[in-house]
Amino acid sequence: MPFAQSPLHPVRRRAARALAVTGAAALLLAGCGSSGSSSGSSGSAGGSTAAGSPAADAAGGKRTVKDATGKAVEIPAAPQRIVTLTQEDLDAVLALGVKPVGITNGQGLNEPPAYLKDKVQGVPVVGNLLQPVMDKVIAAKPDLILAGDMQDEQMLKQLREITPATLVTMAPTDDWKLAFRGIGNAVNKLDQSNKVIADYEAKAAKAGGDLGKNKGAAVSIVRWNPTGPSWMEKKQFASGVALDMGLTRPAAQDKDGNAHSPALSLEKLAEIDGDWLFLSTLTDDGKTALKDVQSKPAYQELGAVKNKHAVTVDGSVWSTRGGPLAADVVIGDIGKALAAS
């Protein structure tokens, strides 16, 4: 039986219309400065007052940034109690050495992502991804809420009643590096965020150069859904990490976007083939669908499967919008598989 070719329904629904901005992080970077009131001055990122400096203290410890919607938001110059509402926001602040006071569960999970679990021991969970429980957010006493790509205006209004310092940190088309720099600026650690990205890029290039005969291999990156597999376009997070390692994508997947393909039928399963095949799932139904297809001829005839180059990876890392800590996991997964062959 072929898979139904119904449209992919991701766990996290995104806004259908694009925001009338160039990207969340671009706005976050463009609208920063220090002020003593919500009408305070703004300037370039490089001109913002450092957190904890005398000038910031004298100005009331406030800065003004613009969020993904273009909204000017006054935030603490040195936020102390940060609540993150997406895995990407959590990944970002942890990579910058900041431990939040409230987090949400991972994408498709009822717990924090496994790769971040040891870093958030004891941190209260205030809800599911982009679905905070307001009483729990209030209990966390945040002075800054990082709301990811939230588009629910009613929910944003409630969050801003808890603290006006609530930022939509990314637009639907932002890549993880751009979003990470914006979050870095929001927590007044822009220089550190630039260093984290530079270190990541150096690590990715080195790891890709150490792949021996698999250097430059074509890697297929696929999420298996209950309705079938979807491959990821080149600007999607895990795809970008592979490209930063000097790897390539199969011809069918050489698409310059940041989305997933529609779910494929068995008749189109060849689209997921490559020198290497990385498979992830996000739900139990997806895991069942993947297990069921692995006994079928269409799957067994894939070149990557025949060559024992099909690798199962963690969907809560590979199928997200990413961050520096997730990128480190993807580098490790690819390196472990390809360097060992």
pLDDT tens per residue across span 4-30: 333 333 334 333 333 333 444 555 655
- CA 94 to each of CA 7, 83, 141, 278, 322: distance values in angstroms, whole numbers, following the listed order: 34, 12, 19, 26, 13
pLDDT of residue 252: 92
Neighbours of 203 (CB within 10 A): 18
CA triple 290-294-297, angle to 5 deg:
135
The DSSP letter of residue 33 is -
**Is 250 exposed, middle or buried, given 0-12, 13-18 or 19+ CB atoms closer than 10 A?**
buried
Q: Are 49 and 204 in contact, with CB atoms under 8 Å apart?
A: no
pLDDT of residue 3: 42
**Is 88 exposed, middle or buried, given 0-12, 13-18 or 19+ CB atoms closer than 10 A?**
buried
CATH class held by domain 207-339: alpha beta
Q: What percent of the chain has pLDDT over 70?
A: 82
Predicted structure pTM score = 0.84
Sheet holding 34-35, edge to edge: 34-35, 62-66, 72-76
In tens, the pLDDT along 136-195 reads 999 999 999 999 999 999 999 999 999 999 999 998 878 899 999 999 999 999 999 999
Ranges of CATH 3.40.50.1980 domains, the chain: 24-188, 207-339
pLDDT of residue 26: 52
Q: Are 228 and 265 in contact, with CB atoms under 8 Å apart?
A: yes
- CA 167 to each of CA 29, 145, 182, 259, 301: distance values in angstroms, whole numbers, following the listed order: 13, 6, 10, 24, 48
Say which residue the tokens 């994508």 belong to: 249
What token pair was written down for 151? 């588009």
Q: What does the alpha-carbon distance between residue 44 and residue 65 come to, in Å, rounded to a whole number? A: 10
What token pair was written down for 28? 């976050």
Q: Report which of residues 295 and 36 the model is more confident about.
A: 295
pLDDT, mean over the chain: 84
Find how far residue 108's CA is from the centre of its chain.
14
Residue 134 reports pLDDT greater than 90:
yes
Residue 300 reports pLDDT greater than 80:
yes
Tell me the average pLDDT across 85-101: 97
Q: What is Dmax (Cα atoms) for the chain?
A: 70
In tens, the pLDDT along 35-75 reads 333 333 333 223 333 333 333 333 449 999 988 778 899 99
Look up the CATH architecture of domain 24-188: 3-Layer(aba) Sandwich (3.40)
pLDDT of residue 9: 37
Q: Which residues pair with 228 in a beta bridge?
A: 225
pLDDT of residue 17: 33
pLDDT of residue 55: 35
What token pair was written down for 290? 């993947």
